[in-house]
Amino acid sequence: MSRRLKTDIPGTDYRIDAERLPDLDWEQEFAKDLRAPGPLVLELGFGRGEFLMHLAGEASERAHIGVEVSRKRVLKMARRVARSELCNVRLVHASAEHFAATGLRAASVEQVWINFSDPWPKKRHHPRRLVQPALLERLCWALLPGGTVEIATDDVPYAEHIDATLRAEAHLENVFAPDPWRSEVPGRPPTAYELEWRALGRPIHFWRYAKR
């Protein structure tokens, strides 16, 4: 028998209703908790949430936004953040595409993280892959000059797709050049999925592209 999902939030609820996104001022939203929120740090598809928690904990004066399409995972993460001492995290239940289209402002983001998104291996499902030209174009618009997009996957065909899509975006340049990607990035905290895939011997691919 599965355990019943707990819906109470044991503290401050840092979830943001997706319907508020078009009119939301992120600087104002974070100003009540942070003296100088500065440019945003995003994780699109935070999954189990441990990576986002690490980022926010390491930079407690920076504004972090986690976006996740799974309502259940957003709820679990909201409970986890409420139990922590973090006040620099906001959570949005939405697709990354919807968030990028409605929740961002020009030149407002310093970092975007996309960790181990679904590779959608069947060819007919490839349009569902998160890393697509339209999303990257929107993220470039939202990034500050020098701001970065950090992407990771363990799936080789998806890695080829990601690499080609990143190289085709004229507003981004490869920080790891001449390497197309790297299998290790010192200081980068592993996600739970990364640890699982490494244990299974899967090749890990990391990209870091910066806005020109």
Q: Which of 28, 37, 89, 33 is nearest to 62 (CA)?
A: 37
How far is it, in rounded angstroms, from Cα 181 to Cα 143? 21
Rounded distance between C-alpha atoms, residue 34 and residue 73, angstroms? 25
Q: Where are the alpha helices (DSSP H) in the chain?
A: 26-31, 50-58, 71-83, 96-102, 133-142, 156-168, 192-199
Q: How far apart are CA 30 and CA 94, in angstroms?
A: 19
Which of 13, 17, 23, 118 does the annotation list as catalytic?
118
CB-CB contact of 105 with 26 (8 Å)? yes
Beta strand 89-93 pairing with 109-115: unpaired
Task: Assess whether 118 carries a catalytic annotation.
Answer: yes
Active site residues: 118
